[in-house]
Structure formats: structure tokens, C-alpha cells
Amino acid sequence: MVAPAAIADRFDRRTQVSYERPMNKRYCLTSLLALLNLHLLAADAPKTFKVGEFNFTRPAKWEWVDVTSSMRKAQLKVPGTDKSQSAEVVFFYFGEGNGGGTKANVDRWLGQFESKSNPKVEDSRVGGHTVTYVQVEGTYLSGMPGGPRTPQPNSMLQGAIIESDQGNVFIKMTGPAALVKSAKDDFKRMVEGALK
């Protein structure tokens, strides 16, 4: 008669189950689904989008961000080489006669900075529209007007206000100064490309 332990030992060897293969398959399947999901999200991100009467083309390396506020008509993210840093580009449009005048908005944007350095305001004429470019560096006080503010030192704002009879479009890029400076040309091409 064979001892019960020997039978159990023989049984375990014959039907030995490898848990590594199913786990590897499950891991591969999960990874494949995650990559597919990221690809589909990237495919859904618009390359062009409309704000007011203007059609903008998103710079290739900039990322689309879904807006969570009714005040924002579009939002983009400018990724930095350092993954922990990025700049945001926000588009505002309030319709004809709304949103305040150009000067009031320029003053408000400049007022969002402490320890300002190099503030510049320049008007340009592109495609029959006046564009006011605003640039300022310093400590950016982020947050909603009238609410709590978070100081962000070494920041920069690059803004553009496109004047239109159908309502001005306000575009504001804010983030770390070095990143905003490196994205300035793409910002200007995006703004002026919509006006041609």
C-alpha cells in the first residue's frame, strides 16, 4: 500500500500549475489595453479648434486639456523637458462686448505678478485684426480673482488679446519662465496662424 503523502506528492507533480504564465498574460493584456487607451485619447485630441470666430492649430508637442470651467473655451498644456514642469495655455471668449476692454485685461494680467520684471505690451496688426501681446516675468499669483492666491516664483506670462467685432479672444500662457520663453515662438505662430 502506498502512503498518502506519496500519492499527494505524485499528484502535485503531475498537475503542477504555473502561476507565472497567466500573470504574464494578464500583465501584457493590461499593458496593451492601457496603451490602446492612451492612443485613443491622443487621437481624440483636436489638432484644430475654434474660439470665437478664429480657428487655431495646436502646436504638435502641446497637449490638449479638457476644460472644466465654462469661462475657458480651450486649454492646452506645454510639456517641459523636466516632466515635473509644464505651462498652461488658456483661451477665453465671452462674446460681443463682453470680457472687458484690452487695457483692462492687460492691467489685470500684469497685476497678477509680484516683483515684476521686463513687462512688455506691444500691439500688432495681423489679418485685419489688432493683437496686443503681453509679456511679464516675476512671481505669479495663481488663483481665481477675489479668491486665495498661490505665489509661483520664477514664472512668466505670455498673453495675446485678439480684437474682433464678434468679441475679443484672450489667450494666456503661464508657467516657469524658462519654459514659457522656449514656447514663445510656437505661441505667436499659433495666434497669428488663426488670423491669416
Domain boundaries, the chain: 4-42, 46-193
Class of domain 46-193: alpha beta
Write down the pTM of the prediction: 0.76
The predicted pLDDT at position 189 comes to 97
CB atoms closer than 10 angstroms to residue 35: 10
3-state helix, strand, coil split of the chain in percent (to 5) is 30, 40, 30
Which grid coordinates are listed for 82?
523636466
Q: Any idea what DSSP says for residue 32?
A: H
The predicted pLDDT at position 9 comes to 55
Give yes or no for a contact between 58 and 51, defined as CB atoms under 8 angstroms apart. no
The predicted pLDDT at position 41 comes to 44
Below-50 pLDDT ranges, the chain: 14-15, 17, 28-29, 32-43
The predicted pLDDT at position 186 comes to 98
The predicted pLDDT at position 97 comes to 78
The predicted pLDDT at position 116 comes to 86
